[in-house]
Structure 1
Amino acid sequence: MHGGPALTVLVADGAGEPLFLVLSEQFSDLEREAARGWETGRPVYTLSLEHDPGTNPGASPGVDPGADPAAEPWTATVPELAERFVGELLAVQPAGPYHLAGVGSGAVLAFELARQLRAHAREVGRVVLIKPPALPGSPVDFDLALRRRLALVVKRFGLGGEEDAEQVLALLSREGWYGADTGAADLARLQRVAAGLAWALSRYRPGACDVPVVLLQDEKEADAAELLWGRAAADLRPHWFDYGVEWFGPLLADPRVADVMKAELLT
C-alpha cells in the first residue's frame, strides 16, 4: 500500500487536539467543505485513500492497472488500510487523546483506526461515524466488485461507451465526485480503489473497541446500525436523520450534523 500522503491539513488554526477525519472514496471535496463548517475550534486533518495506487505491494509501477484487465486484484483488508494511516497520524500528534471521525466507508476505517490506536495503549477520546455502510455484507471478490462499480458509473451517468476519460470526468465532477485535483488519468485507478474498498468492507466485522462512538445515521437503518455498533462500542451515542437515501450528501448538509460535531468536539 504505497502512494501519496494519506494525511493532509484541512483547518490549520485551532486549539487542543486535532480532529482526524477519514474521507470516503468518492465525495472528498463535499466532505471537506462540510468539515470546514463544523467550527469545533480544533485543527482538522483529513485522511483518505484518494492517492492510493490501487495496486498491491510489489505490483509493477510501470503498468496502469486500470487499463490492464489481467492486473492483480487490489485486496487489502480494513485493518491493513487503517494501519496505513497510523504512522502519519502519530507524526502529527504523538500522544492522545485522539478524536476521529469518518464519512461513509471512511467511518469504518476511522473505527478500525481507533481500535488499532487502543491496541497500542493510545487514548482515544471519541469516534464519530457519519452514515457508515451496512455491515456485515456478503463477501465479494475483487473482479465482481470492479464490474459492479463500473456498471454503477455507467448507469448513474448514462454512459454510452463513446465518451473519453475527460468527458466522463466532467460528468462525475458536476455531481461532486472526487476532489478538485482529480484528473482524467486518475479515473481507472479510483474505480479500482472503490472496488478494493468494497472487497474489504464485505469482509469486515467490527470488533469491540473501548471508546465512545457517536453515530449519525439514517432512521431506516437504525435497528441494524444500533445493534452492530452498540455491540462494538463502549458507549454508543446515536443520532437519527430521516432522509431515506443511500447517499450521505443530504445528511452532511444538515445543520444538525454541525450541531452534533460542535457538541462533541468544541474546545
Structure 2
Amino acid sequence: HSVDDVMIIISESMYKGLKYFKRYGDRRDWEHYWEMFRKYEHCIGVAKWNFSKEEEPVYTRGNYQIFQDLDLSYYDFSSLARKSFDWITKIIEGEDIHTFCFLGAYADNCEPLNNYVNAILKNPAILKEYTVRNYMISLMEKYIDDMKCGKLWINACFKFLVPDLIMFMEAIAGLPAKGFLAYDEFYSTNRDGNLIGEYLIERNPHICPSEHVILNGVSDEVGDKYFGHLDNICMVNGKSITPQRLNRSGLRRRLSSCD
C-alpha cells in the first residue's frame, strides 16, 4: 500500500520493537529484522487492538482479584454472581440459545467441534439426554471452579485508557491546557451511545483495594464531535491521578468499565 496513506499512528512507547530498528538507523536495520525473522520464524506483531462498537463485549469474565479485595456481604456478592449462575444453569439444563453460543455454533459459523456438537446441531432435543448432559457438565466444570475463585461474568469490557485529548491538543497549540473532563469524569461510548453516570474503573491485573476507581461518565458536545467515532476507549482527565490509582497504569493499557 502507499506509504502516504496513514493507517496507524503510534508512539515510541507503544512500539515494543522499536529498539530493533535503531542499531544503524538506516535500511540495514530492516534487513536485519528479516534475517532474524527467517532465522527464528518469529515476527513482530500486534498484541492488542480495539474492538469495534459492534464487537465490544457486553459481559466479560472478571479477574478474581477484583472481587477478593472487596468487603462484600453475601447478598451483594451473590447478586454479582447471579448472571454467571444463570448462564451455567441454562447450559447444563440444555437451553438452546445459551448452549449453542457456548459451543460456538453461531448462525454464521456452524462447523461442529466434534461428534457431540454435530449431533446437537442436527437434533437439539438430545441436549436432554443423559450422556449429552454429562458431556456438557464436564465442559462446564472448569468454569464452575473458576467462578468459585471469583472469575464471574460482569457487565463490563476491556478498554484502552487514554488522556483527555482536548487537553493534549491545547498543550500542543500552546493554549492553557484545560481539557473538557473534570478530575472525576471519563468519556467513553459503546454500541448504545455514551456511558453516563457512575462506573467502576479497574485495571487488569488488579492488586489492591485502592485500585477501585469510581468515575462519572459524561456526554459532551466537544467530546462527541471529536471522539465519538473512537471505539473501545476510556478517556480520563489529563491532570487526574486515575492512572496512578490504577497501579500507575499507562495511558494506553487495558482496563474494564463496570456498570
Point out the structure with max Rg over C-alpha: 2
Q: Does the pair score TM above 0.5?
A: no
Interval of TM-score (by shorter of Structure 1 and Structure 2): under 0.3
